[in-house]
Structure 1
């Protein structure tokens, strides 16, 4: 770092009212957990992730005994984990301080020493893992590209290598077939799928739908000897399902009468699919009978499904929340009875305000946004924060968010825009940002901003733009290209200097960027310049807070320093918060500290 940047102010408290101060912190501290994942041959052996210790870590749950055990205990937390099919071991990804570069380790389900799972596979970024009873397929990505390995009978063999992005996608139940996702055609955003024989690695089948149409292999049938592979396709302008029978070289497209987009997983007997449907910021569950070709709703409440699976007895276990109600893990029995499955220890999170839909005509079509207003807000315009989601291929949802709730408690209306580039609104909407990323999304944000000001909800002099990752990138780009709209910007783990970011980021993201921008910075320099926040740093007029992790492989620290060094030459108030982790933090105390810094900064920028 060449310049000493002003540090962020971390307030001791956000609110003078003790009840309000307790409430916003309690939402972050409240124990949460994910939907359990069980071993396919030992369904009593389960794992999940939870923040019960104050850090997101992996836990084991033996349903037969009722015992819960914390598996991992690392300073910066652990999220990536799975079980062996027999339930005897737990695998989790061991990186360094959140840098996402490392290796898979394995330990007994009952506890003990963790050891490197496959010693002769080198470290890298994870690119898929499928564990069988007799063989394991592991994907690794480095700056040199992608490598895929099989480990069996004590021997490890590399069976695939490419400079392009690729990964392990699925392993058939009898372990005779391996499905991989690849981008040898040069577009990692629209991958192809290849199925290889596990014995000898000959190509058994191949499928690519052509330019601009991705295929995503999800999982093989859970029945041994059944070679059907469940795949997502986008042949009709949105993500839909097909079942590909590898042995007979036939496929069946599933035409479901549902708006929006879907994904799915198998029921245990492979006679049906558990379909997760996403439409306009909300998700729901359905059962699709493959023989009868009938779709039936599981009648989940309006909100967000955060994960779901089907137990051997047909019980569907799922995570659910809404903007107003915290996450719960529920179980829906085959007879339709629905109950709470797991309740974490401690007090539940306090509720928050609901979100309402806004549909605004933008330059590329109708833009969907979710709007929440403080429950005790006075009539008329209020300070408003636009929290822009990351991805960009993701979407904001009607889900519980302690972060959103904290802004609401501070008196801000919160606006979440599913701009072009977001998922769930069709292929054309998602891919509309190609060749002009960042600037395209901000046109949609501007349309929503205008509508909110004209509707009387947002105070035009008190609008803040905020986001993390891609949302942080959009935030810095917004304050440079739309300086009249924003009273302050809060950018967490952003792309700030796109050329430098490309040079330092992980290879998977370089591959993504080439597909999104139309090439590398060397081949399309004008596009990168036009779409990079550092290009517009001299136009910034509003106060800026930037937060960044030292070990971030996605939005590396050097390119953020480049931007801040340029900002430091201007008479613009700004602050910098730097922390020892990667692309965000899994430590609850750290998350609270950063949230307090962000809201406190915004309040000061608005003169509050």
Structure 2
């Protein structure tokens, strides 16, 4: 770079607003490393302006871009021997495609599993020698299938069921496959089955009692030790997610009884001597080490905030992705320093969150509040509603809320019933009255925001993406007087049409949430569909959608928009060439700019 070009780049950076810098600043994911070649790692970065996969040889420091597609790539797996990078190749974000692989050192991509047609992915596990792959697939025609693909041989189907399922893990010696399945019909709570490579069953574990109880299990991973048949799993037997160790050959279960509030996940230390615990509670998280020999748990030092991923390295150090609402994310190590620090523009920080607890119809509701420094209410306020619904907002860095704060808005994020991190009962509470229960919790927090003097009742924006976009459209129809502006990204707008057009795994989830199909429980679908209330919408509404979205398909959004158009309702629609959101930085910035502009034009001046 010449000095003049460097000066021009610095000038452009200085003129760029902070909210845009947060999106443009290069960022990286937590590196995934090969179990038998720890110096070989793969990570995701937006360094080129599009999120793509990168290979990193830690021994030499060399990094190279692995994938290069117009709409980006984030789904990648490194083989245990470190020799191959597998990545999922779909079409323009529609999530329907095939696995390809590329040598870690570089070279041409090749079809990883010849003989398997395109599908939605349902898990992938690779053997240590890279010869055998266990491939989960999902299609409308077949439901879920699992194939064993051995290099040079035709793939063999070993599992098939109409309900959703997925590959959990492959044992260290490559002889056992752990499967999560929902054959009992409850897509929110999985049971487990361990099978051999030919599909014959070894062991089953089912806490759902055939679907009559709302208890789920999840695969966390086989022990990383030769000859060890223990499987680390997550369970909900005490009303929250916790780990236990299940020996799949003897049936013995070792309950760790960690006695930690909130949800707990874990992964093995590489030598199998302990577990790296990720403990999430009230929108924040911490790390601990559990030692099998002593039964003791020791805190792994991390700053206050949120750990979005962590992994234990062979030398005993822990690498983790950390951020807070005020401080951008970074990959750190307990060995000291930042693991990956991409060059170039650095992301500005934002303001910290304040915790608010509000009494609601189903119990105390946790909300996270951000507002401009020094600002006093009443302020124009954005209710930024998370997706999922089984997800939660946390004290973690997020560029979109920070953009609203930069423009003078208070931002409130609500962990409504359905959110994770507050116990199983809170997560499962929204069944059958889908959407309406979440809106009750949002309404309770809205009432607090107005009564406390924080929010201006005449300048309230309801917004969100995916399930948050769904709740936005539902909210402005169910409570048309409560909101000033609605901004919905990739939403469910017409629940019946969405059900018929969406990917198979989401159909199973909707059947669980609503208790059946649209034909079986039409009243529930009608009560929970934004289309039912579209003629009551009085607020200006902005909708953005990916034309290739398999989760919130475009046809059902078009149905909703046509109803708005028919009565001349104030609305704007932005359609873009991607799936359920975009991995292109310029596109994401364009979307945020359009949302900010829409709000500025339609919100009354305070």
TM > 0.5: yes
The alignment status of 1:67 with 2:62, answered yes or no, reads yes
SS in structure 2 at match of 1:232: strand
Q: 1:402 maps to what in 2?
A: 399
Give the counterpart of 1:248 among 250, 261, 273. Answer: 250
Q: CA deviation at 1:456?
A: 0.4
Give the counterpart of 1:602 among 599, 602, 606. Answer: 599
Instruction: Provide the C-alpha distance between the structure 2 equivalents of 1:604 and 1:264, rounded to a whole number of angstroms.
Output: 47
Q: CA deviation at 1:491?
A: 0.2
| 1:378-405 deviation line (CA, Å, top 9, x unaligned) | x221000000000000000111111111
**Mean Cα displacement is larger for which, 584-593 or 131-140?**
131-140
Instruction: Provide the C-alpha distance between the structure 2 equivalents of 1:490 and 1:177, rounded to a whole number of angstroms.
Output: 47
CA contact (8 A) 2:458 2:604 kept: no
The alignment status of 1:28 with 2:23, answered yes or no, reads yes
Give the counterpart of 1:213 among 212, 215, 235. Answer: 215
SS in structure 1 at match of 2:337: strand
Q: CA deviation at 1:572?
A: 2.2
Structure number with greater CO (CA < 8 Å, separation at least 6) is 1
| 1:519-546 deviation line (CA, Å, top 9, x unaligned) | 1101100000000000001110000000
Q: 1:39 maps to what in 2?
A: 34
| 1:111-150 deviation line (CA, Å, top 9, x unaligned) | 1111110111111000000011242100000002001000
Q: 1:175 maps to what in 2?
A: 174
Q: CA deviation at 1:241?
A: 1.0
SS in structure 2 at match of 1:568: helix
Q: 1:317 maps to what in 2?
A: 319
| 1:139-189 deviation line (CA, Å, top 9, x unaligned) | 000002001000125222100011111111110000111000111111111
Q: CA deviation at 1:223?
A: 0.5
SS in structure 2 at match of 1:277: strand
Q: CA deviation at 1:607?
A: 3.4
CA contact (8 A) 2:20 2:589 kept: yes
Q: 1:348 maps to what in 2?
A: 346
TM-score, normalised via structure 2 length: 0.95
SS in structure 2 at match of 1:479: helix
Q: 2:184 maps to what in 1?
A: 185
CA contact (8 A) 1:147 1:158 kept: yes
Q: CA deviation at 1:408?
A: 0.3
Q: 1:111 maps to what in 2?
A: 106
CA RMSD of aligned residues (A): 1.2
Q: CA deviation at 1:201?
A: 2.2
Q: 1:590 maps to what in 2?
A: 587
The alignment status of 1:536 with 2:533, answered yes or no, reads yes
The alignment status of 1:571 with 2:568, answered yes or no, reads yes
Q: CA deviation at 1:570?
A: 2.1
SS in structure 2 at match of 1:444: helix
Instruction: Provide the C-alpha distance between the structure 1 equivalents of 2:61 and 2:279, rounded to a whole number of angstroms.
Output: 32
Gapped regions of structure 2 (runs ≥ 5): 1-12
Q: 1:436 maps to what in 2?
A: 433
Instruction: Provide the C-alpha distance between the structure 2 equivalents of 1:500 and 1:21, rounded to a whole number of angstroms.
Output: 42
Instruction: Provide the C-alpha distance between the structure 2 equivalents of 1:21 and 1:136, rounded to a whole number of angstroms.
Output: 46
Instruction: Provide the C-alpha distance between the structure 2 equivalents of 1:516 and 1:419, rounded to a whole number of angstroms.
Output: 16
CA contact (8 A) 1:381 1:459 kept: yes
SS in structure 1 at match of 2:332: strand
Aligned counterparts, 1:483-562, within 5 A: 483-562=480-559
The alignment status of 1:417 with 2:419, answered yes or no, reads no
Instruction: Provide the C-alpha distance between the structure 1 equivalents of 2:500 and 2:199, rounded to a whole number of angstroms.
Output: 34
Q: CA deviation at 1:376?
A: 4.3
| 1:411-445 deviation line (CA, Å, top 9, x unaligned) | 10000000000001111100000011100000000
Instruction: Provide the C-alpha distance between the structure 2 equivalents of 1:308 and 1:240, rounded to a whole number of angstroms.
Output: 17
Instruction: Provide the C-alpha distance between the structure 2 equivalents of 1:102 and 1:235, rounded to a whole number of angstroms.
Output: 37
TM-score, normalised via structure 1 length: 0.95
| 1:463-502 deviation line (CA, Å, top 9, x unaligned) | 1000000000000000000111100000000000000000
CA contact (8 A) 1:391 1:470 kept: yes
SS in structure 2 at match of 1:535: helix
CA contact (8 A) 2:276 2:287 kept: yes
The alignment status of 1:275 with 2:277, answered yes or no, reads yes
CA contact (8 A) 1:20 1:409 kept: no
Q: CA deviation at 1:246?
A: 1.1
CA contact (8 A) 2:470 2:488 kept: yes
Residues 261 and 566 of structure 1, relative CA distance in 2, 3 Å threshold: same
- Equivalent residue pairs, number: 586
Q: 1:375 maps to what in 2?
A: 373
SS in structure 2 at match of 1:585: coil
Q: 2:121 maps to what in 1?
A: 126
**Mean Cα displacement is larger for which, 505-514 or 232-241?**
232-241
Q: 2:358 maps to what in 1?
A: 360
The alignment status of 1:287 with 2:304, answered yes or no, reads no
| 1:294-322 deviation line (CA, Å, top 9, x unaligned) | 11111211111121101111110011100
Instruction: Provide the C-alpha distance between the structure 1 equivalents of 2:541 and 2:343, rounded to a whole number of angstroms.
Output: 39
Instruction: Provide the C-alpha distance between the structure 2 equivalents of 1:446 and 1:523, rounded to a whole number of angstroms.
Output: 30
Q: CA deviation at 1:359?
A: 0.3
Instruction: Provide the C-alpha distance between the structure 1 equivalents of 2:103 and 2:132, rounded to a whole number of angstroms.
Output: 18
| 1:284-303 deviation line (CA, Å, top 9, x unaligned) | 11101122111111121111
| 1:231-279 deviation line (CA, Å, top 9, x unaligned) | 1110111111110011221001121131111111000111100011111
Instruction: Provide the C-alpha distance between the structure 1 equivalents of 2:599 and 2:257, rounded to a whole number of angstroms.
Output: 47
Q: CA deviation at 1:204?
A: 0.4
Give the counterpart of 1:82 among 77, 91, 101. Answer: 77
Instruction: Provide the C-alpha distance between the structure 1 equivalents of 2:31 and 2:255, rounded to a whole number of angstroms.
Output: 30
CA contact (8 A) 2:459 2:604 kept: no
